[in-house]
Structure formats: C-alpha cells, structure tokens
Amino acid sequence: MNKKFEEFSRKLTYWIGSPQSILAHTVFFVGIFALRFFDFSSSDVLLILTTIVSLEAIYLSIFIQMTVNKHSEELEEVSEDIEEIQEDVEEIQEDVEEIQEDVEEIQPESKE
C-alpha cells in the first residue's frame, strides 16, 4: 500500500509540473468563474474557489514534501555509496604503494 501511494504521489507531483496541468487548471478556473453566469453569487463563487484552491495547496505541499523526502533518502544512499568507493580506492592505493615498494626491492636484486 505504501509503495502504491508513493508511486501515486510521484506521478501526481510530476503531472502538476506539466503543461497538461496548466491547461487543466485554466479550464477549471474558467469553469468556476463561469458559475457566475448560472445564477451563483460572486461570494459563492469565490468561496468555492478559495476552498478548492486552499485544499489543493495543502495536498500539493504534502506531495511535494514527500518527493523531497524521497530524494533526500536517495541522496543519502548515494553519499554512503561514494564513501564506500572512496574507502575502496584508498585501500587499492595502499596496495599499489606496497606493490611498488616490493618491485623496488626486487629490481636491485635482479641487477646483481
């Protein structure tokens, strides 16, 4: 269930940043303001609009924060991987230095 919700929030957050979202919101706002032509009072239209926009802002901020949290977790994993790689590189570097020392010791013996 949690994975499905995370996938849904990721897709929704991606969609919100798309041109289709701009179009859908524009059509929605035009529709809300068109209610004025169907005998809805201006105060009713504004009440409906502000309520919906406020709810949308709350949910969008939650979805965006979930995405930020997920990216933070992924960055932490990458950081840990980089630290492990750096440790491996340092170990390899030490091994190479030891091999160089061994080669230097062997070289004078082979010249004799």
Q: Which pLDDT score is estimated for 63?
A: 84
pLDDT one-digit tens code per residue, 19-36: 999 999 999 999 988 888
Domain boundaries, the chain: 2-111
Is pLDDT larger for residue 29 or for residue 2? 29
Q: Scan for tokens 């004078």, then name that residue.
A: 108
pLDDT one-digit tens code per residue, 27-67: 999 998 888 888 888 898 899 899 999 999 998 898 888 88
Cβ neighbors of 66 (< 8 A, separation 6 or more) are 6, 9, 13
Whether the full predicted model's pTM is greater than 0.85, yes or no, is no
Cα gap 101→106, rounded to integer Å: 9
The amino acid occupying position 51 is: T
